[in-house]
Structure 1
Amino acid sequence: MFSNFIVAVSAVVPIFVLIGIGLLVQRAHLLTKEELAHTNRLVFRVFFFFTLFSNIYNADFADGFNPRLMLFGAAAVTLLFLGGLAFSCLFEPLRKRRGAMTQAIFRSNFIILGLPLVVNIFGEDGALMPTMMVAVIIPLYNIYAVLALETFRGGTFRLLPILRGVLKNPMIDGMLLGFLCRLLPFPLPDPLLRPLMQVGAATTPLALIILGASFRRGGISESRRDLWACVFIRLIAAPALVLTAAALLGFRGVEFVTLLAIFATPCAVASYAMAQQMGSDAALAGNTVVFTSALSCFTIFGWIFLTKTLGLF
């Protein structure tokens, strides 16, 4: 039992120490809102690009490619998306809030919090399987988010612009470049490859510090009921359903923890920007990010400790 406790602590504490450093950066006013926005854009467009590139370029695909896991992950995201649509329509009469609620239910912070979680438990060798899942999960997140937000603001869902947007996603582009470089008849020279790897290695600490520095408290009185419903579903109900199904289907080890990293992590930071840009309730979207991120230090620890005790990894 104590060893399981240590595993859970070792997985969660490093992540939230880095977020805590970000909170100190915020309190010291070392970065303005504009500087944070620019740094966030830099992390997303440059650092994540090289992280995914380095993971794919150095990958052993015999160990990482898992069609059964990919199919399960895609099906689970799709079902959560459909469930989020239905729940938001039944629970919230205001159309403006429904898109933000749907995003909060199905879209997690898999890249910033999930990938480091798997690495903290299994080491760098365990990063390949969740990296391969990025190719499935991130496009689905983008497509479903646009579909939900357009639906509830009365817009038109157009598939081709969405697909073009997915192909412009730096994480997808980094993976594609990694695949292309693996096809070359010669390895990349070390003086070129080494700095690319160093940039990729710096991504997680920087992204988590910026996440902590970006936390803002907003008014929640108008949408308190919606907020706490989203928090409960994102951190408790959704992972309970998906992880139970995964356990019953026989997923174990790094497969199971990869699913935990996708479905038990808090709301995606990008959901706030998308809600703001597409006419949804940006305040609600921002609060779901803040509150799920803050509370996930306890819920993620609980899920890891529980599932480790049950022998699922």
Structure 2
Amino acid sequence: MFSNFVVAVSAVIPIFVLIGIGLFVKRAKLMTPEELKHTNRMVFRVFFFCMMFANIYRADFEDGFDPSLVVFGMTAVTLLFLASMAFAVWFEKDNRKRGSIAQAIFRSNFVILGIPIVVNIFGEEAALIPTMMIAAIVPLYNIFAVFELEMFRGGKFQLVPILIRVLKNPMIDGIILGALCRLLPFPIPDPILKPIAQVGAATTPVALIILGASFEKGGIADSRRDLWASTIARLIVAPAIMLTAAALLGFRGAEFVTLIAIFATPCAVASYAMAQQMGADAALAGNCVVFTSALSAFTMFGWVFVTKTLGLF
């Protein structure tokens, strides 16, 4: 039992220490909001590209990657999206709030937290699994988010422009280019590959520090009911259903922990910006990010501890 507790602590604590450093950076005013905005853009466009490229290029595919994990992950995210839409329509009458609620429930912070959770438990050699899942899940998140936000504001959903934007996503570009470079008849020279890998290795700590430094507190008086419903659904209900299904289907080890990272992590930071840009309730979306991120320090520990105790990894 104690060893399971140690595993859970080792998986979660490093993530929130880095977020805490970001909170210190914010409190000490070491970066202005404009500097944070530019740094966040750099992390997204450069660091994530390098991390995905290096992970794919250096991955040992002989260890095997189960395609059924991708099928399950994409199916589960799709079902969670449909359920979140139905819940938002039933629970809330205001379309602006419906968009923020649905997005908070189905769209997790898997991109930022997925790889560190798996690596903290299984080591760098397991990074291929969440990397491949990012390639499958990120396009779904983007397509579903635009679809539901457009629907709730009465707009027109256009698939082709969305797919074009997905293909311009630096993470997707890094995965594609890394895969193409593996097909070259010669290896990438080490003086070129090494600095790319070094930047990639810095992605997780820098991204988590910026995440902590970017937190904004907002009033919750007008949306307390919606906020708590979204938070409970995101951190407790969704992982309880999806992880139970995954366990029954036989997923174990690093694959199961990757699914924890998809379904038990807080709602995506990007959901706030998207809600703001597309006419949803941005204040509610921002509060969902803050609340789920803060409470996930306890719920993520709980999911890792419980599933480890049950022998699922």
TM (normalized to structure 2)?
A: 0.99
Deviation track 1:190-246 (CA, whole Å, cap 9, x = no partner) reads 111110000000000000000000111100110110000000000000000000000
Name the aligned partner's letter for residue 17 of structure 1: V
Name the aligned partner's letter for residue 69 of structure 2: L
**1:228 equivalent in structure 2:** 228
Q: Distance in 1 between matches of 2:189 and 2:64?
A: 25
**1:294 equivalent in structure 2:** 294
Is 1:21 aligned to 2:46, yes or no? no
Question: What are the equivalent positions in structure 2 for 1:129-140 lying under 5 Å apart?
Answer: 129-140=129-140
Q: Distance in 1 between matches of 2:207 and 2:221?
A: 30
CA contact (8 A) 1:253 1:312 kept: yes
Name the aligned partner's letter for residue 174 of structure 1: G
CA contact (8 A) 1:64 1:132 kept: no
Is 1:69 aligned to 2:69, yes or no? yes
Is 1:118 aligned to 2:118, yes or no? yes
Q: Distance in 2 between matches of 1:127 and 1:66?
A: 14
Name the aligned partner's letter for residue 307 of structure 1: T
**1:256 equivalent in structure 2:** 256
Q: Distance in 2 between matches of 1:144 and 1:66?
A: 25
Is 1:141 aligned to 2:131, yes or no? no
CA contact (8 A) 1:64 1:128 kept: no
Question: What are the equivalent positions in structure 2 for 1:102-181 lying under 5 Å apart?
Answer: 102-181=102-181
- For 1:239, what is the secondary structure of its paired residue? helix
Q: Distance in 2 between matches of 1:214 and 1:64?
A: 38
Q: Distance in 2 between matches of 1:286 and 1:66?
A: 35
- For 2:222, what is the secondary structure of its paired residue? helix
**1:60 equivalent in structure 2:** 60
Q: Distance in 1 between matches of 2:4 and 2:267?
A: 26
Aligned sequence identity (%): 74
CA contact (8 A) 1:64 1:129 kept: no
Q: Distance in 2 between matches of 1:62 and 1:111?
A: 24
Q: Note the aligned Cα RMSD (angstroms).
A: 0.7
Measure how far apart 1:65 and its partner are. Answer: 2.6
- For 1:221, what is the secondary structure of its paired residue? coil
Number of matched pairs: 313
Measure how far apart 1:63 and its partner are. Answer: 2.7
Show structure 1 runs of 4+ deviating over 4 A: none
Measure how far apart 1:66 and its partner are. Answer: 1.7
Q: Distance in 2 between matches of 1:46 and 1:148?
A: 29
Question: What are the equivalent positions in structure 2 for 1:82-97 lying under 5 Å apart?
Answer: 82-97=82-97
Deviation track 1:40-82 (CA, whole Å, cap 9, x = no partner) reads 1111111001100000000122335321000000000000000
Measure how far apart 1:16 and its partner are. Answer: 0.5
**2:266 equivalent in structure 1:** 266
CA contact (8 A) 1:215 1:290 kept: yes
Deviation track 1:260-309 (CA, whole Å, cap 9, x = no partner) reads 01110000011111110111111111010010001100000000000000
**1:280 equivalent in structure 2:** 280
Measure how far apart 1:114 and its partner are. Answer: 1.7
Deviation track 1:132-181 (CA, whole Å, cap 9, x = no partner) reads 11111000000000001100011100110010011011100010110111
**2:245 equivalent in structure 1:** 245
- For 2:279, what is the secondary structure of its paired residue? coil
Is 1:47 aligned to 2:43, yes or no? no
Question: What are the equivalent positions in structure 2 for 1:184-199 lying under 5 Å apart?
Answer: 184-199=184-199
Name the aligned partner's letter for residue 280 of structure 1: A
